[in-house]
Structure 1
């Protein structure tokens, strides 16, 4: 994807692994245009270790069952990586109320481009509601919506009573908010939900960004730091930036003495040298 002159250069962008619909350019455009942002999002393919597209234990207001990352030790998934600037990243947080943005440790979840280049630690949106499991208790893998919804209906008589016996009836039923909430509570009640502590317990996004900016301060001397701004969300929707200063690159120039002023008396570096 080409980028116009006014877009952020790649070194100023953050890599975000897209597990579900965020890998669709039309979906990203809809989200950003709705927040008055002209979407210019570079996307690359990468092989990500230890993570796979699973199924979140909730239903969207549009009637589909969304994706969520699940732990997959020993496996590698080929996924799209979005490269977002700070404004795009904060906007995407707002559009993901059912997820928390976390940074994957590169040592445990390395991401590698097709060229073989290793990416820096990437962000990923982790589901707040856990992931759905199959009849064997293993985390479900993401499939097309028709197949997924039919399998969920076949496995639960209560879900069929609430939402009908076909994917079409399911989508029509869950457009009602009360029905969606009932389905979300039904999933764990039937033992069909599994938590993902290896992902949800990762450091929150604003802490990762603050650590990154402080590292920049160490290198450059002056930079920006993130504060939570009173937000209780895991993402950076409520983040604020404040200017912080580190060690300057060069020491300040000494002041020139005023003509006619006697030179200052030299003394030691401690109080012991000041006794008269």
Structure 2
């Protein structure tokens, strides 16, 4: 771990209308019991993970950091690629805290390049009324995302926070991944929507403010449900959890995500 790493305390939950809260470009970090250590080089990465001349993150340093914090090593963890707010250590730290369980918080977050996967919107709202992110198969697409290593207890907690998703395993033969460590894992897990993804002829790519996706859906449906300020709309949807799913299905704005599921 670089000596230039900086520590930041997890913050309070962000406003639902600002989802997905990822801020600047994705990055590598290590959530520890003492805070969040930034693992990216100063100024951030200048190219996708798979195009770096040398690894941006040292695997041995990651394991050393976990060991120093008294946490499980990488070999005992499951690698999960995040597509929404789970890319941020602060979000995961809040999920651990809200679970009330005796969990060690140490969790590595490593940027990665993933092929044939893109990010859109779940065709269902979250409990707080925003439209969350969801992955879908997109042949030829390449994205920079974040891969997270969870120990068994952490993974169980995160699974429980994703009631609208199934955790699926994507094999490298169909979805190649290169981590910022230089590794190319044989497979990764991902949370995929149980309700399909929002689509108009093809999946709608993730909008980085809820106001954008609400305005887009108003243009496609003419519905007053999604008119107005994003914060008010999130509150409206939170009070009526099935309204959005009903609306988009009535207007045929839902597509299958194309991801492999167990038979």
State TM-score, norm by structure 2: 0.70
Q: Does 1:13 align with 2:74?
A: no
2:147 is matched with 81
Matches within 5 A, 1:64-75: 64-75=130-141
4+ long deviations beyond 4 Å: none
1:192 is matched with 253
Compute the RMSD of aligned alpha carbons: 1.7
User: CA shift at 1:115, angstroms?
Assistant: 5.1
1:218 is matched with none
1:233 is matched with none
2:94 is matched with 30
User: CA shift at 1:64, angstroms?
Assistant: 1.2
Matches within 5 A, 1:127-206: 127-134=193-200, 137-144=201-208, 145-158=210-223, 160=224, 162-176=225-239, 179-196=240-257, 198-199=258-259, 201-203=260-262
Aligned residues: 196
Q: Does 1:46 align with 2:112?
A: yes
State TM-score, norm by structure 1: 0.67
Tell which has more relative contact order, 1 or 2 (C-alpha 8 A, sep 6+). 2
- Name the SS for the 2:147 alignment partner: strand
**Contact in 2 for aligned 1:47/1:76 (Cα 8 Å):** yes
User: CA shift at 1:168, angstroms?
Assistant: 3.4
**Contact in 1 for aligned 2:170/2:187 (Cα 8 Å):** yes
User: CA shift at 1:120, angstroms?
Assistant: 2.9
The answer for unaligned runs of 5 or more in structure 2 is 1-29, 31-64
**Contact in 1 for aligned 2:123/2:196 (Cα 8 Å):** yes
